[in-house]
Amino acid sequence: MRAIVLEEPKKLVLKQLEIPEPGENEVLIQVKAVGLCGSDIHYYEHGKIGDFIVEKPIILGHEASGEIVKAGKGVVHLQQGQRVTIEPGATCGKCEHCQNGRYNLCEKVEFLATPPYDGAFCEYVVMRSDLVFPIPDQMSYETAALIEPFSVGLHAVSRGNLQEGETVLILGMGPIGLMTAAAAKLHGAGVIIGVDLEDSRLEKAKEMGATHVINIRTDSVDDKIMEYTKRRGVDVAIETAGSPAALKSMIAAVRRGGRAVIVGMSPEDESPLNIAQIINKEIDVKGVFRYHHTYPKAIELLSSGKVNIERMITDSYELEQAEEAFEKSIHDKQNTLKMMIYPNGR
């Protein structure tokens, strides 16, 4: 099979590899669509993210969907020919966090395209069968692949304990911010306010469910929030931009007794937060790391057709063009949102 291998930073090579064999309780999947994620781009450019360092050649890509071509021994709930989406993290199932349900915190997780584990920019992958979810006939492979980043939005909304009819502010309208807007809409949020500095992204935000948008180039977030919420503040504010300014606006925007959720990774490990406001307004501040138990829920929510997350796809490429995709996403941030790669052709 063909695979795109990152041999060293900025060096992707098309290789011929053996098609893997599914073992017990595993399935072999022909990969149909894979989203290009910010983390893939970071590994490509810098060869590492924090403590995760690319020390040997690696296949990137973890937002994937495909068709089952072979089921290994002991697989009962899946069969050849099924269209599926893939949850990319294989957790241990035994540790404290796996046992209490917050398996996203498992320290023994094997996550696709996180060193040393290979990802899905290749024609076939083998996955543990409990991480493979059949999708309805009417769901596209693109939407199925995007369930991975959508899951982050869904988890953010659930960490914020967003209730029907509530007001939510989302800072940063990159792919994760847009997914969070979509998740908030599908959760029944009443007012969804999107913030960014690119008008093109704010337009996309409206397609994903934002009822109000604020461009920070021309407007003050603080003033607009007071106007939109009649000085009450928002029930939930979610930061996906990874910027100190957005963190500041997040805390200022939350109503008394409201919730603040931090998803965006800032370049610095430490950022100042206004502790007096957190105390005085008794704000619950929460972090988000990946997600847990989101796939069945995501399939159900996205099947409603109320939001079409595929609309954030701006570019699509064959496997051979992977390097072009990576380079464009680095050099043309204004015009690109989500890119799709099709390992078995479009």
Residue ranges that bind Zn ion, judged by CB under 5 A: 37, 91-92, 95, 98, 106
What is the DSSP code string of 52-92?
EE--S-B----EEEEEEEEE-TT--S--TT-EEEE--EE--
Half-sphere exposure of 49 (CA within 13 A, CB side): 14
By beta-carbon proximity to Zn ion, the closer residue of 51 and 137 is 51
By beta-carbon proximity to Zn ion, the closer residue of 175 and 233 is 175
Distances (CA, A) of 43 to 62, 115, 118, 124: 13, 9, 12, 21
d(CA 207, CA 119): 30
Angle at the Cα of 23 from the Cα atoms of 20 and 28, rounded to 5 degrees: 50
Minimum CB–partner distance for residue 180 and Zn ion (Å):
13
Minimum CB–partner distance for residue 240 and Zn ion (Å):
13
By beta-carbon proximity to Zn ion, the closer residue of 37 and 225 is 37
By beta-carbon proximity to Zn ion, the closer residue of 148 and 166 is 148
d(CA 53, CA 169): 34
Minimum CB–partner distance for residue 79 and Zn ion (Å):
28
CA 264 from chain centre, in angstroms, equals 11
By beta-carbon proximity to Zn ion, the closer residue of 132 and 189 is 132
Q: Largest alpha-carbon pair distance within the chain?
A: 62
By beta-carbon proximity to Zn ion, the closer residue of 37 and 186 is 37
d(CA 164, CA 188): 5
Minimum CB–partner distance for residue 151 and Zn ion (Å):
9
Could you tell me which of 211, 200, 199 has the C-alpha nearest to residue 170? 211
Minimum CB–partner distance for residue 105 and Zn ion (Å):
8
d(CA 205, CA 196): 9
Minimum CB–partner distance for residue 88 and Zn ion (Å):
8
- Stated as kind and residue range, the H or E segment containing 338 is strand 338-342
